[in-house]
Structure 1
Amino acid sequence: MSIFSNIFKTTDFNSSNSLQEFSCFADFFDHKYYAFSKATKRRSQLELYVFDKHIRPIFGPKTLAEITSQDLDLWMTAQLEAGYKPATVNKHSSMLNRILNIAVQWGYLDTNPFKAVVIKKLPTGDYMQRFLTHTEIKSLLSACKRSTHPFLHLFVKLLLLTGARKSELRLAKWTCIDLQKGELFVAVSKSGRSRTVVLSKKALAVLEQVKLRSEALGLPITRDSWVFANPRTGQPCTSLHIAFFKARDSAGLSSVRMHDLRHTYASLLINNGASIYEVQQLLGHYNISMTERYARLFPNTLQDRVDIVADSLDFDRI
């Protein structure tokens, strides 16, 4: 029996007593919503983590009907006072809003209290993009090379050479890499669709170094093996972020996030003549609007373009 069958077997969407079925909100999450999340979402464990840390302590003991819009406004305000950034609080509230919407759709709640909140969405300011200069890239790679993490230096190199998302590399297996075509196949990207990461000759050379490092560590390099595996567990590396933070701090680049390497890849493409369409394809953006965030980096060629029309008309001869 599929997990969907289990969900629907235990859920009576039309029952007149559905509002009384759960003793508290935590009960609804644990016994209804989380099974649904595991069946439909790639990162259900992240939802469980956020619920346990930020939602369960406040709303878990309440019944669904007891959660008020005032409770939600005070909860968001408390997170800000605790030092969480507005963008993070927005993510937490968006998740809680989604859970309550599903409770309404399934008949366990009459109305989502989020409809009456005062704080609809916290302002986060303009989207910030950080691009590393060549000097900063050199400093960062030198710091990563000094790291005790066996793969950090090679991992960061590949991020810069491919523009891949960190999860796309961290969760890659050797079977996903076509050395002949120079491609890394990602079965499920952030958009939920598959995509192909194009690998340059230098990126392929770094992957050969990864193989040699894995062999030296006694890790398997069969087709079904992880490209970046933890030497102790054999599972995908989970400590890359910690090692990266230490390396970037030692390089004096504390404001740099791992995702900024993807931004840097895009800026290097644009500065070397790539079109916005090519950047979109190489970054794996499903919607061109995501790529347009980099539009300000493109050289202003509009004056040259209007001259094309003027020169073609040549009014002086008419």
Structure 2
Amino acid sequence: MDEFFFQHYLPNALATKKRGPDDRLTYSKHLAKSFGSLPLSDISSRAVNEWRNKQIAKGLKNSTINKHIDFLMNIIKLAYVWGHVDDQLHIKINIRKLPVGNYTQKFLNETEIRNLLNGCKRSPHPYLYLAVKLLLLTGARVGELRNARWSDIDEHKRIWIVPVSKNGRSREIFLSAESLDTLATVRRESVALGTAHLADGYVFTNPRTETKYDSFYAAWYKVVRSEGLEDVRIHDLRHTYASILINNEVSIYEVQRLLGHSNVTMTQRYAHLLRSKLHEKTELVSKAIENPWN
């Protein structure tokens, strides 16, 4: 398995997948110990189920374990497609995924936003507060923020171009005046930290490694724990951005454009937020008719 992964699967993933480097990390951390030394043809239902149960014992989330199962099956399927095994093991292996339930979206209220931002201000991380503020102001994905370069930002047009978004296409992020002010603060901070001159030009450059941040999660989790917001994920900032727009009567189609969704179906997950507004709108009809039946 190690030989196939590192000599065949990984080079292909690095060349064709945006998240190719993540595959290397996931394999090395979660799959290599259990399967790396096994011949591909010896990977059995029993071995896979035992591996899954070990992940459960480690306390990994069910959704994470299910992603690892899919990853393993994809590797084995590709081995068959490329002729490294004769059997369709990815079909024969009997592995049951774990229940994850329905995901409940989290939208931060004004108090939670204020507490979160104040906690981020107190963090020793040089950019956490500015990064979180920008995520709230723009609805950007955290990966888009980590990969942003100054060359992607047109301050005159107030547009941030994401060259390759989650759906594989470029997209525009529209910048408010406050977003531009926050970016100006980031630029001043990068000058103070001595990273403004670097050729890569990342908006958020780690002063220790002099390249983009791998993540903000370690600092993020310290803050949400200290503020009693343990159930808040960093992606919930994007949900919060959408909820603020909808609650201020921005149409679902405008929200679609602002979030960069390729079709409105993806944006419909926020449609339930419109209900209270729609109830208000029905009163307009009553006022217009002026209750002629009374």
Taking structure 2 as the reference length, what is the TM-score of the superposition? Answer: 0.90
Q: Contact (CA 8 Å) 1:174, 1:221: kept in 2 or not? A: no
Q: Contact (CA 8 Å) 1:248, 1:256: kept in 2 or not? A: yes
Structure 2 stretches lacking a partner, 5+ long: none
Match of 1:103 in 2: 79
Match of 1:53 in 2: 29
Shift of 1:223: 8.3
Distance in 2, Cα, partners of 1:77 & 1:95: 16
Change (3 A) 1:282 1:53: same
Once the two structures are superposed, the pairs formed by residues 212-227 of structure 1 within 5 Å of their partners are 212-220=188-196, 225-227=201-203
2:177 to 188, 195, 201: 201
Q: Are 1:189 and 2:165 matched, yes or no?
A: yes
Change (3 A) 1:42 1:196: same
Distance in 1, Cα, partners of 2:220 & 2:285: 51
Q: 3-state SS of the aligned residue for 2:206?
A: coil
Aligned residues: 290
Q: Are 1:69 and 2:42 matched, yes or no?
A: no
Match of 2:265 in 1: 289
Shift of 1:239: 5.6
2:133 to 154, 157, 179: 157
Q: 3-state SS of the aligned residue for 1:298?
A: helix
More moved, 164-173 vs 242-251:
242-251
For the pair shown, the structure with the greater C-alpha radius of gyration is: 1
Q: Are 1:137 and 2:113 matched, yes or no?
A: yes
Distance in 2, Cα, partners of 1:110 & 1:239: 40
Distance in 2, Cα, partners of 1:122 & 1:290: 25
Runs (4+) of structure 1 exceeding 6 A deviation are 301-312
Q: Contact (CA 8 Å) 1:174, 1:223: kept in 2 or not? A: no
**Could you report, residue by residue, the CA deviation over 1:261-290 in whole angstroms, capped at 9, with x for unpaired residues?**
111111111111112111111111223332
Shift of 1:73: 2.5
**Could you report, residue by residue, the CA deviation over 1:207-251 in whole angstroms, capped at 9, with x for unpaired residues?**
111111112222226885111112233211336221222222222
Q: Contact (CA 8 Å) 1:211, 1:221: kept in 2 or not? A: no
Distance in 2, Cα, partners of 1:34 & 1:277: 39
Q: Contact (CA 8 Å) 1:221, 1:227: kept in 2 or not? A: no
Q: Are 1:116 and 2:92 matched, yes or no?
A: yes
Distance in 2, Cα, partners of 1:29 & 1:48: 9
Match of 1:177 in 2: 153
Structure 1 stretches lacking a partner, 5+ long: 1-24
Match of 1:264 in 2: 240
Shift of 1:78: 2.5
More moved, 162-171 vs 120-129:
120-129
More moved, 221-230 vs 237-246:
221-230
Distance in 2, Cα, partners of 1:242 & 1:307: 48
Counting aligned pairs with the same residue, the percent is: 46
2:210 to 225, 230, 234: 234
Match of 2:227 in 1: 251
Shift of 1:113: 2.5
Shift of 1:257: 1.5
Q: Contact (CA 8 Å) 2:77, 2:89: kept in 1 or not? A: no
Taking structure 1 as the reference length, what is the TM-score of the superposition? Answer: 0.84
More moved, 152-161 vs 243-252:
243-252
Shift of 1:110: 2.2
